[in-house]
């Protein structure tokens, strides 16, 4: 499988449309992380909500990312269709708040290692 076909979604391995929830990809490939694109979901493949707005266990995710020693940049990767009730300014404010919360979890969970 080529690197282009393999992705890590929320710390789990995906291969195109296949999901491997028991794969510890951060443990296996974490030292190779170059960039992070973070989003949340509610169990939906296509949903890209803001971090902490869905069903993912963010304290666990951030602890696992911190355990890799990653110190690079992270981008949040939301789609705004779940936030149509918000003005652009409200959406950006909420996105900033969620990014700060995720960063705080990364710092807190990383210091607990």
Tokens of 59: 């304290």
CA-nearest of 67, 66, 69, 68 to 103 is 66
In tens, the pLDDT along 10-47 reads 555 444 444 456 677 888 888 888 888 888 887 666 67
The residues, any chain, with a CB within 8 Å of residue 48's CB and separated by 6 or more, are 39, 40, 41, 77, 78, 79
The answer to pTM > 0.85 is no
């Amino acid at each position: 499988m080529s690197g282009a076909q393999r992705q890590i979604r929320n710390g789990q391995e995906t291969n195109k449309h296949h999901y491997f929830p028991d794969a510890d990809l951060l443990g296996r490939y974490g030292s190779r992380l170059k960039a992070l694109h973070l989003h949340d979901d509610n169990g939906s493949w296509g949903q890209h909500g803001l971090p902490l707005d869905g069903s993912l266990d963010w304290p666990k995710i951030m602890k696992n990312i911190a355990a890799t020693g990653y110190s690079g940049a992270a981008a949040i990767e939301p789609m705004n269709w779940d936030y149509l009730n918000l003005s652009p300014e409200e959406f950006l404010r909420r996105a900033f708040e969620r990014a700060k919360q995720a960063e705080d979890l990364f710092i807190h969970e990383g210091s607990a290692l």
